[in-house]
Structure 1
Amino acid sequence: MTTAAPHTGTAVGGRTLAHPEREEIRLEAVLHALSDPMRLAVVREMATSEEAELSCSAFDLPVTKSTTTHHFRVLREAGVIVQVYRGTAKLNGLRRDDLDALFPGLLDAVLDAADRQDARLGEG
């Protein structure tokens, strides 16, 4: 996805969320964010979605709302996703362009490995 929104989190109505600039994204933060099964599931769904942005409620995670919020915050603070408010909805977009520019092939390799693991374990 191409993220048109500034990563500083500027939003209509004064609601803002902090995002790292591209140059600030660190490999270890990205790998940490992707190491959790729930967060990896979110990224996998975003990577295969035809929609550029998805609301938090579009994800059916088997955890509490507060835990879901935590997972999205970890992904945002690591630079894996961008979150913006559109009206009262918080929308999420994958920062694929930024990740591919900084770490070529990393996201595709992680997503491919997750698909292979699902096939191997019979979870796909």
Structure 2
Amino acid sequence: MTSTAAADARALPHPAREEIRLEAVLHALSDPMRLRIVRELAAVSGDELSCSHFDLPITKSTTTHHFRVLRESGVIRQTYRGTAKMNSLRANDLNGLFPGLLGALLVSADRQAARLGEG
């Protein structure tokens, strides 16, 4: 198997920008753990974070599920770097399709976290 074929075999499916649906994005962001992941990704402003970076109080299989929901809805992009699965927020796609939604959501999530003492 060539290195290109090996890379293609590990490629994860993502919706194209024009396939991203508002209801799927809102569903993905309705879960507190997924919202926490998105807030952490937004805080690094365009950088990628590995799945192992996130210290979530849930099982590994549940964490995997949450990342899959975010990826399949078009909220994040996941790529393999060696053995690590790297995650980045699809902010440009989301802002282009739904102007102001991501910013408003992140500000609101930060305010709620501060109000509830969740940092």
Q: Secondary structure at the match of 2:78?
A: strand
The structure, 1 or 2, with the larger RCO (C-alpha pairs under 8 Å, 6+ apart) is: 1
Aligned pair count?
Answer: 115
Cα shift at 1:114: 0.7
Distance in structure 2 (CA, Å) of the matches to 1:98 and 1:90: 20
Assess, with a 3 A threshold, how the Cα gap between structure 1 residues 13 and 107 changes in structure 2: closer, same or farther.
Answer: same
% same residue: 73
Assess, with a 3 A threshold, how the Cα gap between structure 1 residues 100 and 109 changes in structure 2: closer, same or farther.
Answer: same
- Segments of 5+ residues of structure 1 without an aligned counterpart are 1-9
Where do 4+ consecutive residues of structure 1 move more than 4 Å? none
Larger fraction in helix: 2
Could you say which residue in structure 2 is the equivalent of 1:70?
Answer: 65
- Segments of 5+ residues of structure 2 without an aligned counterpart are none
Distance in structure 1 (CA, Å) of the matches to 2:66 and 2:42: 16
Conserved 8 A contact 2:74-2:90: yes
Out of 37, 41, 46, which is 1:42 matched to? 37
Q: Secondary structure at the match of 1:35?
A: coil
- Indicate whether 1:12 and 2:4 are aligned: no
Give the RMSD, CA atoms, in angstroms. 1.6
Conserved 8 A contact 1:20-1:78: yes
TM-score, normalised via structure 1 length: 0.87
TM-score, normalised via structure 2 length: 0.91
Distance in structure 2 (CA, Å) of the matches to 1:90 and 1:123: 27
Cα shift at 1:51: 6.2
Conserved 8 A contact 2:46-2:89: no
Q: Deviations over 1:15-52 (max 9, x none)?
A: 11100000000000000000000000000000001561
Distance in structure 2 (CA, Å) of the matches to 1:102 and 1:61: 29
From the CA coordinates, give the structure whose radius of gyration is larger: 2
Conserved 8 A contact 2:34-2:67: yes
